[in-house]
Amino acid sequence: MKILLGTFRKDDEEYYIVQEDGVISIEMDPQDMYIANYSLAKSRDLIVVPEKSVKNGEGVFDFRYGPVTSGIGEAGVYHLYTYGERILSVEIDLSYKHRDIVKRMIGLDPEHGLKMAENICGNFAFSHSFAFSMAVESGVGKIIDSKSQRLRIIALELERIYNHLYVISQLAQAAAQKVFASHMSYLFEESLRLNKAFSGSRYLKNFNKIGGIKDFDDGKIQNLKTNIQKIVNDFRDLYDRSLVSGNFLDRLYSTTVLKVQDAVNFGITGPTLRAAGAKEDLRYEDKRYDDLKVPIRNDGDALSRMEVRAEEIFESERIILKECEKFNLDVEKSNDSNKGIGYAESPTGTIVYKVDVKNSILSDLYIVTPSFWGFNGLVNSLTGNVFTDFQFGVESFGINFADAAL
């Protein structure tokens, strides 16, 4: 199924960024596609409203959650319309985190642009830099050496692992599984320290450069192999124990359901879409990943999203170990044909950059982030749930205000 991710104008023509079966393509007039989210893609409105809003009735009021509250952590506002326990409709205000980054990036040279791209969202820093560097490099036609490509793949998977560990520990925290959450937080911190040992930065910042990764010490690979296996084996043990706890699973089962057609209509990608039932993963068609297992579930609830994330952690470990084994071999050539377009499978979905470089500075920029679409899906899946399910919906989507508001 075709998913519309964004639209941009170039030379007075409108282009559509579309994802289908793991392939990103730029189309002028997408055929056979019901463009449900076209107006949203065009407006990128920072106030996210649901399709059907229920704001009136006896006793209905706006329970404003935010912008300063310890429950969310970030600066954003959830307007929950309710007459009591039931969430009737949700409006999300992203504008408190709007830092106008796109405007500030235009006019910079690509190296400084890369630094700013990493600063859009700290926990997706490497995915952003992966996509941005790919966009710039494909625009000028630069070929990257195999070692850099393998390092980029490894770092992308490392980012995926620590983000998924974070999401699962947050879900455990919300369900008051205090022991499980404590152990998960231990693994989370260990994975951040592993990042630092591997790349020099806990969030893999300043690691990727335009043109590849230079000055990498090959001795770190052995350390990486040992530690990543330690972390993921520990996680495997904890995860198997958590699946036995009915107490925990009860909070997640059939909470904030997002069905596959709704997810596609909102431009959602990543684990949320895979948990709803669609097999969409940018790495699936990429020749550099062979024999990739894409976990799929059908229910679309918070439990499915957690299960998809857990299986992706195991898959990421397998990819990292394989890349470490083949570290000194050459990489398969990927069949990419879009100039000036870069993309990455971030832990929450597809990131796409469209970059135009003129005279060595950035002249035009368009960014697609998964959190923006994630919030649109969230407002629709939260409807009809009760207050106690709110935290699970928000945490299981894995979205961030910083990423959505740019």
Partner 1 sequence: MKWWPVRGITRHLTEKSSYELDSSVKPMNNIFKRSLHIYMIDVGNSNLLNFELKALQSTQYNTHRFGIYFSDSPRHSDLLIVLGKPTEKMITPLMNTIKQMPEPFGILIVEEDEVFDLKLPNVVGRLKNPEPSEILGTLLKIMGRN
Partner 2 sequence: MIFAYIALLLYTLGIVLSFKRENSYILSAIGSVFATIAGIVGTFYPFELGRIGLLPHVYMSMGVTHTSGIFMTVAAIAWIAISIYSIDYGKFYSKDMGVWLNLSILGMMIILMAKDGLTFITGWEIMTASSYLLILKHKGSFKEAFEFLAFGELSTVGLIIAFASLFLKNGNFSFTQNSGTVLFLIASTFAFIVKMGIFPFHTWLIGAHAKAPSNVSALLSAPLTLMGVYGIFMALSIMPDLHLYNFEWWGLLAVAFGAMSAFWGALQAVATKQLKALPAYSTIENNGMILAAIGISLIAAGDPSLTILSEFAITTALLLVISHTFSKSLLFLSVGHAKEALDEDNIDDLRGAWSSVGRIPALGILLSGLSFSAFPPLIGFVGEWALLESFFQSYKFQSLAARLVTTFSGIFIALAIGMAAFSMIKLAGYTALGYDHGKKAKKMRSIFMRISESFLMVLVLGFGIFAPFVVRYFGYSQFTSGLFGVPSPFLMISSIPIFGVVSPTFFAIVASVLFLFPLAFYLARRHGVRRVNSWNGGLPLEKNEYFSAPAYSAILEIVLKKIYITREKHLNGEAHIEVVDIVNVFYDALKKSVLKVESVLSSTLMNGNINAYVAYIFAIFVVIFLIAG
Q: Which stretch binds partner 2 (CB under 8 A): 7-15, 54-62, 194-202, 285-293?
A: 54-62
401 binds, among partner 1, partner 2, none (CB under 5 to 8 A by kind): partner 1
Name residue, tokens 């630094």: 115
Site string for partner 1, 84-103 (x = CB under 8 A): -----------xxxxx----
Q: How far is the CB of 92 from partner 2 (least distance, A)?
A: 14
Q: How far is the CB of 52 from partner 2 (least distance, A)?
A: 7
Touching partner 1, residues 16-75 (CB under 8 A): 67-68, 70-71, 73-75
Cα dist from 99 to 121, 154, 299, whole Å: 11, 30, 36
Q: How far is the CB of 85 from partner 2 (least distance, A)?
A: 5
Q: How far is the CB of 188 from partner 1 (least distance, A)?
A: 6
- Between 65 and 180, whose beta carbon lies closer to partner 2? 65
Cα 142 from Cα 211, distance rounded (Å): 7
Cα 50 from Cα 56, distance rounded (Å): 15
- Between 67 and 277, whose beta carbon lies closer to partner 1? 67
Q: How far is the CB of 215 from partner 1 (least distance, A)?
A: 21
Tell whether the torsion through CA atoms of 176, 181, 183 and 189 is positive or negative.
negative
Any contact of residue 391 with partner 2 (CB under 8 A)? no
54 binds, among partner 2, partner 1, none (CB under 5 to 8 A by kind): partner 2
Any contact of residue 335 with partner 2 (CB under 8 A)? no
Site string for partner 2, 68-97 (x = CB under 8 A): xx-------x----xxxxx-x---------
Q: Which stretch binds partner 2 (CB under 8 A): 61-69, 166-174, 234-242, 280-288?
A: 61-69
Amino acid at residue number 377: G
| Residue 4, both tokens | 């519309």
Q: How far is the CB of 166 from partner 1 (least distance, A)?
A: 7
103 binds, among partner 1, partner 2, none (CB under 5 to 8 A by kind): none
| Residue 269, both tokens | 């990608």
Q: Which stretch binds partner 2 (CB under 8 A): 23-31, 57-65, 177-185, 218-226?
A: 57-65
φ and ψ at 86, to 5 degrees? -85, 135
Cα 240 from Cα 393, distance rounded (Å): 22
Any contact of residue 54 with partner 2 (CB under 8 A)? yes
Any contact of residue 400 with partner 1 (CB under 8 A)? yes
Name residue, tokens 């709704």: 262
Class of residue 200 by CB neighbours under 10 A (exposed 0-12, middle 13-18, buried 19+): middle
Q: How far is the CB of 51 from partner 2 (least distance, A)?
A: 12
Any contact of residue 241 with partner 1 (CB under 8 A)? yes
362 has which bridge partners? 357
What own/partner pairs with CB < 8 Å and gap ≥ 24 does 338-342 have? 338/24, 338/25, 338/26, 338/138, 339/138, 339/139, 339/141, 340/135, 340/138, 340/139, 341/17, 341/24, 341/26, 341/135, 341/138, 342/130, 342/131, 342/132, 342/133, 342/134, 342/135, 342/136, 342/137, 342/138
Any contact of residue 257 with partner 2 (CB under 8 A)? no
Buried b vs exposed e over 307-330: b needs ≥16 C-beta within 10 Å? Answer: bbbbbbbebbbebbbbbeeeeeee
- Given a contact cutoff of 8 angstroms between Cβ atoms, the answer to whether 371 and 348 are in contact is yes
| Residue 61, both tokens | 């009021």
Return the residue of 79, 160, 183, 309 that touches partner 1, per CB under 8 A: 183
- Between 397 and 401, whose beta carbon lies closer to partner 1? 401
| Residue 19, both tokens | 């994802």
3-state secondary structure of 358: strand
Q: Which stretch binds partner 2 (CB under 8 A): 55-63, 133-141, 170-178, 306-314?
A: 55-63
Element (H, E) at 131: helix 125-140
| Contact residues for partner 1, defined by CB under 8 A | 67-68, 70-71, 73-75, 95-99, 115, 119-123, 125, 166, 179, 182-183, 185-186, 188-190, 192, 202-203, 237, 240-241, 400-403
| Contact residues for partner 2, defined by CB under 8 A | 52-69, 77, 82-86, 88, 386
